[in-house]
């Protein structure tokens, strides 16, 4: 089975990946559904955008309401030397209340503008969520692909080492060529380089998942 066919097969089932490839014990396991759930829940940028959208959703009802009335206490012609209300006949003391009335239609326009801004903020959250989920899935599957590719490379290294042992034994008894040993060593070196490249690529994908709120 080729690597491409193997990769297609893993899409048909739910797979897990651990933080270290080839480790005897899995330190952490993350499935795709958990990865997307963690990203939606813990991504700081998405949380900030959601909080802003929630705050803006409350603005239309606030700006469409009349301002709070102002309560006052008025005193007119009150003698400041005695504060005796009976000293002057024109002394007036009493509470007051005032209400600002905006120009007709102004509150409705404010509410409409605030509604547009709230809808725009909510749309930004939706787009950010779609982008986040898309990237989480992309990097998650990349980790899965790297895991299987690394396993195949390591398995090929094992086979190649067995082959090297065979050609070395033949060479020692005069039935083989030194060239075969050198070619096998060169191929093994290439496979070791491939393993390092795959490991680095996997670590970068895991780092991206960590950034997006999916610890792995």
Handedness of CA 83, 86, 88, 90 (dihedral sign): positive
- Kindly tell me the burial class for residue 213, based on how many C-beta atoms sit within 10 Å of its own C-beta (0-12, 13-18, 19 or more): buried
Number of H helices, E strands in the chain: 6, 2
What SS3 string covers 58-118?
CHHHHHCCCCCCEEEEEEECCCCCCCCCCCCCCCEEEEEEECCCCCCCHHHHHHHHHHHHH
Distance from C-alpha of 111 to C-alpha of 95, rounded to nearest angstrom: 33
Give bridge partners of residue 72 from the DSSP assignment.
Answer: 96
pLDDT 10s per residue in the chain (216 long)?
A: 333 333 333 333 334 444 444 433 444 567 888 888 888 888 888 889 999 999 888 887 777 766 667 777 666 665 656 555 555 556 556 566 766 666 777 778 888 888 888 899 999 999 999 999 999 999 999 999 999 999 999 999 999 999 999 999 998 888 888 898 999 999 999 999 999 999 999 999 999 988 887 765
The answer to whether domain 3-66+104-211 has CATH 1.20.1600.10 is yes
Instruction: Dump pLDDT digits (tens) for 178-207.
Output: 898 999 999 999 999 999 999 999 999 999
Distance from C-alpha of 180 to C-alpha of 28, rounded to nearest angstrom: 42
- Kindly tell me the burial class for residue 202, based on how many C-beta atoms sit within 10 Å of its own C-beta (0-12, 13-18, 19 or more): buried
pTM of the model: 0.61
Domain range annotation of the chain: 3-66+104-211, 69-100
Distance from C-alpha of 145 to C-alpha of 3, rounded to nearest angstrom: 9
Q: Please, are residues 37 and 175 in contact by the beta-carbon 8 Å criterion?
A: no
Cβ atoms within 10 Å of 97's Cβ, excluding its own? 8
């Amino acid at each position: 089975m080729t690597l491409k066919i193997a990769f297609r097969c893993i899409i048909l089932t739910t797979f897990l990946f651990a933080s270290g490839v080839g480790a005897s014990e899995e330190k952490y396991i993350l499935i795709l559904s958990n990865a997307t759930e963690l990203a939606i829940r813990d991504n700081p940028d998405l949380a900030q955008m959601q909080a802003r959208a929630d705050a803006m959703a409350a603005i239309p009802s606030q700006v469409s309401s009349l301002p709070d009335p102002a309560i006052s206490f008025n005193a007119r012609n009150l003698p400041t030397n005695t504060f005796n209300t009976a000293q002057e006949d024109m002394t007036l003391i009493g509470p007051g209340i005032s209400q600002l009335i905006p120009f007709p239609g102004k509150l409705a326009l404010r509410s409409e503008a605030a509604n547009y801004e709230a809808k725009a903020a909510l749309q930004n959250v939706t787009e950010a969520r779609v982008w986040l989920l898309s990237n989480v899935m992309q990097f998650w599957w990349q980790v899965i692909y790297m895991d299987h590719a690394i396993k195949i490379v390591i398995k090929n290294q094992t086979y190649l080492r067995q082959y090297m042992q065979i050609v070395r034994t033949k060479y020692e008894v005069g039935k083989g060529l030194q060239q075969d040993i050198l070619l096998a060593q060169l191929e093994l070196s290439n496979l070791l380089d491939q393993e390092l490249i795959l490991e680095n690529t996997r670590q970068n994908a895991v780092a991206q998942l960590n950034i997006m709120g999916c610890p792995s």
